[in-house]
Amino acid sequence: MEATQKVKASFKGIRSAGWVIIACFIIAVLIYQFVLGNPANFMNNDPNNHPLPGNFLGTIYKGGFIVPVIQTLLLTVIALSIERYIELRAAFGKGSLVKFVTNIKAALAEGDMQKAQQLCNAQRGSVANVVNATLKKYAEVEHDNTLSKDQKVLAIQKELEEATALELPMMEQNLPIIGTITTLGTLMGLLGTVIGMIRSFAALAAGGTADSMALSQGISEALINTAFGILTGALAVIAYNYYTNKIDKLTYSLDEVGFSIVQTFAATHN
């Protein structure tokens, strides 16, 4: 029992991403108001005036109310990417996954089930959990004289599928949110761009030197939100593809070692 608990001990990730988004929104608003909107970033210490020449923080502030929205998405991508990194690192286990699969296959070829379970206890992670559960079913049906060989093979396959089905949702958790932000971040940037251009054209329509500030502010809003939206969408795409690829490698390892267990049983039992 103690060994089983060691195998199953792992980081389970953030189950409620809603709280992460809320926390990121609060942080984004605070950054917008007190860092970007710091009066020291503007002429005459007034956020309603132009940013000081070369002051990047004040320029970002002029992006308008869309800025904290896009910042929320950006911070959410960063937070969930870190969370997925920790979760998938725990899922892969302590050592090299490729080496673990190779060692498991070698132990199965030698018929040494005890060694295979010891490898699982040392490796931990999702693959080790699935292999450990399948090996237990292997040992259980091996001494069950009431089942035929085909029934035993099916029982092992079923246990493998059920164990895999329990582990996969934990690995894929929160990835749909990152996938959504890949599009949503770009769309929010586009929305900010459109709003900024509307203000610019409104300033042009009004004419006169009095609206020059409104014109420049509208252009700043358009360009800043475009840049932020592209950055957020790009980071989300990179994170989503990276972690999806990691999960694919892990599931491939699960399939490989699971197939080896089933084939070993079929080959060594009548």
Q: What is the DSSP string of 11-80?
A: ----S-HHHHHHHHHHHHHHIIIIIIT-GGGBGGG-TTSPBPTT-HHHHHHTT-THHHHHHHHHHHHHHH
The pLDDT confidence band at residue 40, using thresholds 50, 70 and 90, is: very high
**What angle do helix axes 66-92 and 125-142 make, rounded to 10 degrees?**
40
Contact indicator for 204, 215 with CB cutoff of 8 Å: yes
Average per-residue pLDDT for the chain: 86
Residue 246 to residue 254: CA distance in whole angstroms: 13
130-139: pLDDT as tens digits: 999 999 998 8
Residue 43 to residue 41: CA distance in whole angstroms: 7
Contact indicator for 68, 34 with CB cutoff of 8 Å: no
Residue 251 to residue 229: CA distance in whole angstroms: 33
Average pLDDT for residues 99-122, to the nearest whole number?
88
The pLDDT confidence band at residue 48, using thresholds 50, 70 and 90, is: confident
155-197: pLDDT as tens digits: 999 999 999 888 888 888 899 999 999 999 999 999 988 888 8
| pLDDT of res. 72 | 97
| pLDDT of res. 139 | 86
| CA-CA-CA-CA torsion sign (120, 124, 127, 130) | positive
50-94: pLDDT as tens digits: 888 888 898 889 888 899 999 999 999 999 999 999 999 988 888
